[in-house]
Chain A
Amino acid sequence: MKKRSKRLLLVLTLLTGIGVTITLVVTAFNENMLFFYSPSDVKAQKAPTDRSFRIGGLVEEGSLVREDDGLTVHFVVTDNAERVPVVYTGILPDLFREGQGVVAQGRLSPDGRFIADQVLAKHDETYMPPEVAEALERAKAQQSGNAAQVMEVAQ
């Protein structure tokens, strides 16, 4: 074997070895790499009860309630399967909206509510001008035959 091919073999072996190692490590730690738990995880009692963790999902439409102090908010995080009520006192990020993604850090209280001490907004990878978003809404409403919604969006 020529010296050059020997070195090539060495580099390839090295790369394969590292690749395999990383794959195994990543698979083994997969569970711990989660940035947040979903409401289904929480209901299935996969989330820790003794320490703080993050919960992620969508803010349920119509679930946002503000208390009179103007800072405390109640809302429900859902993954369209399970729902977890969340209480948070503090300033919400700009992108916090009903129907939008959210990640909250905090603990589960015994009564099943999630007491958050930080709320982060999660947005998706879709970017478009507002007119297009409206047009899409309208098309969706038309498809479902919901005339009332069409009127609402058009106004």
Chain B
Amino acid sequence: MRVFTKEFWFQFASPKTFYPFAGRLIPWFAGAALLLTVVGLYLGFFVAPVDYQQGNSYRIMFIHVPAAWMSMFIYVVMCVYAALGLVLNTRLSDMMAAALAPTGAMFTFLALWTGALWGRPTWGTYWVWDARLTSELILLFLYLGYMALRAAIDDPRRASRASGLLALVGVVNVPIIYFSVQWWNTLHQGASVSLTSAPTMAMTMFTAMLVMTFAFWAYAIAVALYRVRLIILERERHARWVVELAEQER
């Protein structure tokens, strides 16, 4: 079958093939993101029951938890692309890593912000320097540092190598964030959802959270593909197919 050949997969590593392919995918993921957000927020705010301890204020969880998951997950994906770029010297991998960073930073900020708003009524404070909160803040700085380093170096190949290494160094922070609540005494509670045990929350709450997670996934993919198309055009502006494309558009 065609799908199992090396050539089939390698064609997507070429910016020229990937550009129109990404363009076709974007509307589907954008549509899915919109639909899932509406459904997820409806489930979270109207269907899920109140919590026996926190009443309604726990509902910010439906944004906070998926955002925090995405902030870590996007970083790992970004690192995989950065590593591929460093090892195989594929331009597109590096462009994908660059396209993911702003979205990851946005989700990290969202997780920190909603966490502060949730912490004030429940814990009694917006911020504490416990291991979970501090390591998540470091993640935000890693994203910002990655983007700043890229922007600071003019030569794209040197920029991608330097920022790729920075991204790889920072990946150790991800398990630290995830396991911080187990390794140390933190004010932040432990994980309600894990791969090894049943979620410690009501089923409707869990469903709403899962739907919101898929919504954020779809959003992240749509936005990253949109951004990578722009990066491709900018980086490959001297390639013949880009010049031809620009002439067609005119």
Tell me the total A-B contact number using a CB cutoff of 8 A. 121
**Overall SS of chain B's interface:** loop
Interface residues of B in 120-150 (CB under 8 A from A): 121-125, 128-131
B76 within 8 A of A: no
Q: How far is the CB of B39 from chain A (nearest CB, A)?
A: 20
Q: Which residues of A contact B121 (CB under 8 A)?
A: 93-94
Contact indicator A35/B52 (Cβ below 8 Å): no
- A19 in contact (CB, < 8 A): yes
Docked pose: A123 CA to B200 CA in angstroms? 13
Judge whether A121 and B168 touch: CB under 8 Å. Answer: no
Bound Cα distance from A94 to B54, whole angstroms = 8
* A8 contacts partner chain B, Cβ-Cβ < 8 Å: yes
Q: A33-B184, A125-B190 are in contact. Are A120 and B200 (CB under 8 A)?
A: no
DSSP majority for the A interface? mixed
| Chain B interface residue bracket vs A | 35 or more
B contact residues around A126 at 8 Å (CB): 192, 200-201
Which of A22, A35, A127 sits near B202, CB closer than 8 Å?
Answer: A127
Q: Confirm or deny: B186 has a beta carbon within 8 angstroms of a beta carbon on chain A.
A: yes
Complex Cα distance A33/B226, Å? 41
Q: What chain B residues lie within 8 Å of A94 (beta carbons)?
A: 54, 57, 121-122, 124
- A77 interfacial by beta-carbon distance below 8 Å: no
Residues from chain B with a CB closer than 8 A to the CB of A59 are none
CB atoms of B87 and A8 under 8 A apart: yes
Known A35-B131, A95-B53, A129-B50: A4·B189 in contact at CB below 8 Å: no
Identify which of residues 1-51 in chain A touch chain B, using a CB-to-CB cut-off of 8 Å: 4, 7-8, 11, 14-15, 18-19, 22, 26, 30, 33-36, 38
In the bound assembly, the distance between CA atoms of A103 and B183 in angstroms comes to 17
Chain B positions within 8 Å of A, measured between CB atoms, are 49-54, 57-58, 61, 83, 86-89, 121-125, 128-131, 165, 168-169, 171-172, 176, 183-187, 189-192, 200-202, 205
Q: Give the B-binding residues of A (Cβ under 8 A).
A: 4, 7-8, 11, 14-15, 18-19, 22, 26, 30, 33-36, 38, 56, 92-97, 100, 103, 118-134
